[in-house]
């Protein structure tokens, strides 16, 4: 089996999780370099995972003995690091979003294309076993022509105010995953969005210029209709559900739990709680996206989540923001 030498750029919460997952895929990958300008534990992480090279400067990773890189740094660095990695001939897995500027994203994608490298974007929910099954039922025609697509995504608690200030807003930070998901589940492009938003969880979020509750209606090129609902606070846990209703039937997924066993006692019925947050809910997806990245590199095939998918998600998020501000539908 071919082993891919890989470097990790950005070793915060997500970066450390990626290092752990990649290290467990030892037959496919060898982590040879890591970098982060701010993590004081970098040397210790390198020692713990037997990584030869560590640096504050990502250029040291790109100039080292690596075939591919993972970019898990802050959003404002993604575009320049993708560009540098592509020019260095490295295949790339980058966390979302590529950037917040549409024209900059297009320039980045051209550099990637010109240099013939692979770019996979970290929309990990496409690798969820439930959502992949729904997608397959749509693609193979089992449920017929899609008519209605529904996605509910609700966080257990709002992010910190410091995070809200730099997040880019609910559509760009939170709903962007769901905007990618409706394209994936519908097997079609979105042609129109209409967004409604409110501040129902925390007034301070509104004072920072954001919303914490949103519903977006969508129209698709294949004629289907869709709806996404988001909330920054679901007190019962991390709520992640999806449904596609079609001409031959429907496919839907409820929340994952540790078990589906119901315990009935004299005080009523009891079920396991749903996972508390995304790392618990989507733990396997973060492993599976690297398994897919490996196959893509070895077989030189197109990733499940391409750079174009990354562009489309940002375009949709910005269209939702425009619709919210203008109180009008926005066509794409």
One domain, residues 216 and 270: yes
**CB neighbourhood size of 25 (10 A):** 18
| pLDDT the model gives residue 258 | 85
- What is the pLDDT confidence band of residue 147, given thresholds at 50, 70 and 90? very high
* pLDDT given at position 166: 85
Q: Tokens representing 100?
A: 């917040």
pLDDT tens column, 150-195: 999 999 999 999 999 988 999 999 999 999 999 999 999 999 999 9
Asked whether residue 135 falls in the same domain as residue 245, the answer is yes
Domain count, the chain: 2
For residue 167, the model assigns a pLDDT of 87
- Looking at the fold, whether 80 and 213 belong to one and the same domain comes out as no
Asked if the model's pLDDT at residue 232 lies above 90, the reply is: yes
End residue of a domain, out of 84, 117, 150: 117
Are 112 and 166 contained in the same domain?
no
**Together in a domain, 113 and 241:** no
**Exposure string over 121-137, b if 16+ CB within 10 A, otherwise e:** bbbbbbbbebbbebbeb
Give domain status of residue 300, yes or no: no
The answer to which of 9-23, 106-120, 267-281, 283-297 has the lowest mean pLDDT is 267-281
Task: Assign 259 a pLDDT band (cuts: 50, 70, 90).
Answer: confident
Residue 289 within any structural domain of the chain: no
Domain match, 112 and 241 both: no
- DSSP β-bridge partners for residue 190: 220
Domain with 186 in it: what CATH number? 3.30.360.10
Q: Does residue 97 share a domain with residue 201? A: no
**In this model, does residue 260 exceed pLDDT 90?**
no
Which CATH number do you get for residue 70? 3.40.50.720
- 264 vs 132: which has the higher pLDDT: 132
Shared-domain flag, residues 112 and 149:
no
What's residue 203's pLDDT? 97
In the chain, pLDDT over 90 holds for what percent of residues?
Answer: 93
Domain shared by 92 and 171, yes or no: no
What digits encode the pLDDT tens for the residues 299-323? Answer: 999 999 999 999 999 999 999 999 9
Classify residue 44: in a domain, yes or no: yes
270 pLDDT higher than 90: no
Model confidence at 17: pLDDT above 90: yes
Domain range holding 42? 4-117
- Rounded mean pLDDT of the chain? 96
pLDDT at 148 over 90: yes
State the average pLDDT over residues 137-145: 98
Residue pLDDT, tens place only, 193-204: 999 999 999 999
Checking if the pLDDT of 42 tops 90, the result is: yes
175 with 265, same domain: the answer is yes
Q: Do 178 and 108 have their domain in common? A: no
Last residue of a domain, one of 117, 134, 157: 117
Is 302 within the bounds of a domain? no
């Amino acid at each position: 089996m071919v082993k891919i030498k890989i470097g990790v750029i950005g070793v915060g919460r997500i970066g450390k999780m990626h290092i752990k997952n990649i290290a467990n895929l030892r037959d496919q990958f060898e982590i040879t370099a890591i970098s982060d300008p701010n993590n004081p534990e970098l040397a210790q992480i390198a020692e713990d995972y037997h990584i030869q090279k560590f640096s504050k400067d990502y250029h040291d990773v790109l100039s080292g003995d690596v075939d591919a890189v993972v970019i898990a740094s802050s959003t404002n660095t993604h575009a320049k690091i993708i560009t540098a990695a592509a020019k260095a001939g490295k295949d790339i897995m980058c966390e979302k979003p590529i950037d917040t500027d549409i024209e900059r994203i297009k320039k980045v994608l051209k550099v990637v294309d010109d240099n013939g490298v692979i770019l996979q974007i970290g929309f990990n929910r496409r690798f969820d076993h439930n959502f992949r099954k729904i997608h397959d039922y749509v693609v193979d025609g089992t449920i017929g022509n899609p008519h209605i697509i529904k996605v509910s995504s609700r966080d257990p608690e709002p992010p910190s105010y410091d995070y809200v200030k730099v997040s880019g807003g609910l559509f760009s930070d939170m709903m962007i995953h769901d905007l990618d998901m409706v394209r994936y589940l519908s097997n079609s492009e979105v042609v129109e969005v209409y967004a409604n938003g409110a501040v129902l969880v925390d007034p301070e979020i509104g004072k920072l210029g954001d919303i914490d509750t949103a519903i977006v209606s969508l129209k698709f090129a294949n004629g289907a209709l869709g709806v996404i609902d988001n909330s920054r606070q679901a007190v019962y846990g991390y709520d992640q559900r999806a449904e596609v209703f079609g001409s031959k039937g429907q496919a839907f997924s409820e929340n994952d739990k540790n078990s589906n066993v119901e315990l009935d006692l004299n005080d009523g019925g009891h079920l396991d709680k749903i996972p508390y947050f995304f790392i618990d809910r989507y733990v396997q997806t973060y492993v599976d996206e690297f398994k897919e990245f490996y196959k893509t590199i070895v077989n030189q095939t197109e990733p499940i989540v391409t750079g174009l998918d990354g562009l489309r998600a940002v375009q949709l998020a910005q269209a939702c923001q425009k619709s919210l501000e203008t109180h009008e539908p926005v066509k794409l």
